[in-house]
Amino acid sequence: MNRFCTLFKSPKIRFHNEFTNTCPHLITTMPDTEVILIRHGETEWNVAKRFQGHKDSDLTENGKQQVEALGTRFQNEDLDQLYSSDLLRTQKTAKPVSLGTGCQVELDVRLREKNLGIFEGLNVPEIQEQHPEAYKAFREGGACYRIESGESTLDHLVRALGFLEEIPQKHEGQKVGIVTHGGFIRVILKNSLGMSQDTPTRFTIPNTSIHRIVWKNDQWIVSSMGDVSHLNGFSKK
């Protein structure tokens, strides 16, 4: 049913009470709701190590090859719904996924990267030169520190969870793809793993990596992280 994101949903099967009492093993339950978190392809500012945040830079040639490989990978993945951040780098990553699955992309600003305020477009040496006190506070202030004209990590987490909390109700028992950013994926994975946002990140989120979380017992459970198998044999230019 999912191949072309049809709007048809199989109804839950309901049995008369007398039947369920005698044959409880025939009662069916909806499958778990699964969310697939996908990071965008490599960008020019990723390579230059510039803070991107809500600003954009185009995909590199390598990034374009990565998203093509991602699209091919998703030809073998059934999705019921596909969401994407509205930033250009995620839209360009979502397009091949949309073509591979047949799902139309729905944009949502809540899926954006953390707003990095006055740091956006700059690399670390430039930030240290132009905003030395702000950079010191950023490094030492933890998840609560809000960058000037930007967000704190906790602000970002609240925004991300606000989006995610709608998924189990809107897409019960379905598989949902979300094309987003490294920072968004990081706060969700840490939260789902029961980690403090101030805990050092000891996992990587490569470009076009795939991470899966499942809604079970009223909480998100991480089922896999960092899948880049679609890049096997990928030759970086």
Out of 40, 156, 171, 181, the active site residue is 40
Nearest CA to 222 out of 206, 198, 203, 200 is that of 203
What is the largest distance, in Å, between two alpha-carbon atoms of the chain? 75
The question of whether 42 is a catalytic residue gets the answer no
Out of 113, 171, 181, 230, the active site residue is 113
Q: Tokens 């729905």 sit at which residue?
A: 106
Q: Which two tokens stand for residue 132?
A: 């030395």
Q: Which two tokens stand for residue 92?
A: 């360009």
DSSP secondary structure code for residue 59 in this structure? B
Residues 6 or more apart in contact with residue 136 via CB below 8 angstroms: none
The question of whether 181 is a catalytic residue gets the answer no
- Residue 215, SS3 per DSSP: strand
| Separation CA 208–CA 67 (nearest Å) | 7
Active site residues: 40, 113
